[in-house]
Chains A and B, each alone.
Chain A
Amino acid sequence: MASRVSSLRRPAAPTSRTQLLVALAILAALAPLPSLGLEIYWQGVVITSLYYALLASNWNLLAGYTGLFSLAPAGFAMLGAYVTALLWTYAGVEPWLGIPAGAIVCAIVGLVIGVLTLRLSGPYLALTTLALAEILRVIVLNSFDITRGEIGLQVPALFAHQSSYYYMFLVAVGGFLIGLHWLLGQPCGLYLRAIRNDETGARARGVRTVFWKVFAFSVSSGLSGLAGALFAHYVIIVSPSIGHLLVTGLVMSMVVLGGMGTLLGPLVGALLVNVSSEYLRAAGDYQHIVFPIVVILFARFCREGLVGRAAMIFNARVGTQARSGAKATEVLASP
């Protein structure tokens, strides 16, 4: 009886715990590779993939769980990177302060954009973030005296060895996914998903939709800035190319390929897209042709993405057992 009451209060965990465990298993499998002799070059590829996984999971929090479409994940990463770079260059602020400062600035910009656009229903967020991303890039390119334009600003490295970055990004992605899993189980995670499924319905049920949309956008912007600032201290040179729209396109293809609204999807998508980009780039820069086509095909014919499709197959297979188990508890719980 008690279990029935609690299951009414707290609906079943919204993201399957299995997905989190698979994600952590993938990260754990990646962890020993540097000590097993993974080449420096491929370590770099994995680090970049993990950076993309952070941006993609972040974009998934917006697009996949809340139904908000930002076209500035790369733009916010660039902003975060430039905050720490400018603070270091002009005020000598150390990275351990500059990186959180980058995240905070992005969260504040996200808050302002969110308050402006999310009160309105319509495509205002996508339009404004696209304009913001491109215009930030123009400002950086044109303010040559301050930002040194396309040449970029040099920032100090955090670690002496590349493998240290490797572990840092592994921990960052793992921490983010655990945090996201926890968040989605909280009431606020349910509000976000309710907004995506039916915003009017959610408002009618008393969810403060505007508040939670602004909250999600601001948090996600801040975390994109954090990822960008961390990445800045890995690549050491901060240039406007971090914020290019092509990067946003890659992030979007990772999420759509892996599965929107799945916990595991963005990580799988980031690894698949970024590692295969290496080969496509070697074959003659085909990655920006291949992935948009993949995105269009997935949006058209496989909207749940690879992980979503795999989960459907998995659930169909174990479903029969689970259903008989559920029936048993129902019988027990019913008066």
Chain B
Amino acid sequence: MLSSMLVSGLITGTFYALMALGLTMIFGVLRIVNFAHGEFYMIGGFAYVLLYHNLGVPIAVALPAAVLAGGTLGWIVEKLLIRPIYAEFGGRQQGRDEYAIIVTFALSILLIAAMTKIVGPWSLQGPRLIDGPPLLLAGVRVSPHQIAALGIALAFLFGTLYLLNYSLWGRQIRAVAQNRSAAAVMGVDVGKVSTIVFATAGGLAALAGALLSNMISPSPDVGAFPAIKSYVIIVLGGLGSPLGALIGGLLLGVIESLGAIYISFSYRDTYGLALLVLVLLLRPNGLFGETRREV
């Protein structure tokens, strides 16, 4: 019982981590929270489902297309809306925070309302990646679809972490996250890095939306809870820490699945808030957050 709960929690947690990783990368590089992150997830889910059902696009094309849709949206959002943050506010954190919260929150509502206008308020179930009889994995019945989705999620998760740590691209992102102006002096194109990070985050969230569209059918407001969970995770893991997002995501998945069994199933979405309160009380910088000094 316990081990099966752990396994199902870890599976859910992997998808949470996928969303939180992008969010924490955005925070690391731009020092802002993207309050439209759930809508990237929603766009990915819808792109996948609509391409498959309405246009008859095969899954092998629809899934990358969904990732591309989220990435493109992230790219556009950064170019149009986020760019003024470092052009106009420079080091003024207060003005930047105000602008970022207002603009991303408004964007989130805009995307939900626009999607409701386009496809209606209903939810549409996504197709399975693979069909087949369920398998037993450590006592949990898992469908081949879930295993395939998990595999793709893990590949993207560790692929992104690998690139962050070992590629030139990742080194530039980490450099900007550590010290924006020093990175710029060293010849890193900070504007381009920010665009890449936003597009990557959009793509990862869209991937999560597409992979989960069979289990959680996308509707225009489907992104609210995945987004809130990724906010909890990035605080838990430490704002701006990619490793923290991974561990935090898995931890939240496990805690929710244990809580669903031992406390109550219908309130499983609320355990995140309890966890958030605990983290803020006991370890406000998160598990892997750095204590920063103010100037």
Interface residue ranges of A30-75 to B (CB < 8 Å): 63, 67, 69, 71
A131 close to chain B: CB less than 8 A: yes
Contact with A along B65-100 (1 / 0, CB 8 A): 000000000000000010010000000001001110
Find the residue from A116, A248, A292 having the highest chain B CB count within 10 A. A292
A131-B228, A135-B273 in contact; A121/B112 too (CB < 8 A)?
no
B99 partner residues in chain A, CB cutoff 8 A = 299, 303
B228 touches A135 (CB 8 A): yes
Contact with A along B254-295 (1 / 0, CB 8 A): 000000000000110110110011001100100000000011
Nearest chain-A residue to B101 (Cβ)? A69
Interface residue ranges of A272-326 to B (CB < 8 Å): 285-286, 288-289, 291-293, 295-296, 299-300, 303
Contact with B along A173-199 (1 / 0, CB 8 A): 000000000000000000000001111
Interface residue ranges of A224-259 to B (CB < 8 Å): 245-246, 248-249, 252-253, 256
B112 partner residues in chain A, CB cutoff 8 A = 288
B280 partner residues in chain A, CB cutoff 8 A = 116-117, 120, 124, 128
A126 close to chain B: CB less than 8 A: yes
B224 close to chain A: CB less than 8 A: yes
Q: Return the contact of A300 from the options B84, B114, B224, B225 (Cβ within 8 A).
A: B84
User: What's the A-B contact tally at a CB cutoff of 8 Å?
Assistant: 119
Interface size for B (C-beta < 8 A) is 42
Question: Cα distance A303–B89 when bound, in Å?
Answer: 13
Q: Return the contact of B102 from the options A124, A127, A246, A299 (Cβ within 8 A).
A: A299
Interface-located stretch among B9-17, B103-111, B129-137: B103-111
5 A-B interface contacts by CB (under 8 A): A71-B35, A123-B32, A130-B35, A295-B106, A296-B107
Binding site for B on A (CB under 8 A): 63, 67, 69, 71, 116-117, 119-124, 126-128, 130-132, 134-135, 138-139, 142, 196-200, 245-246, 248-249, 252-253, 256, 260, 285-286, 288-289, 291-293, 295-296, 299-300, 303
Known: A245-B109, A295-B106. 20 other contacts (CB 8 A): A67-B94, A67-B98, A71-B35, A123-B33, A126-B101, A127-B232, A131-B231, A131-B232, A131-B273, A135-B270, A138-B267, A139-B270, A142-B266, A197-B94, A249-B106, A249-B109, A285-B116, A288-B110, A292-B106, A292-B110
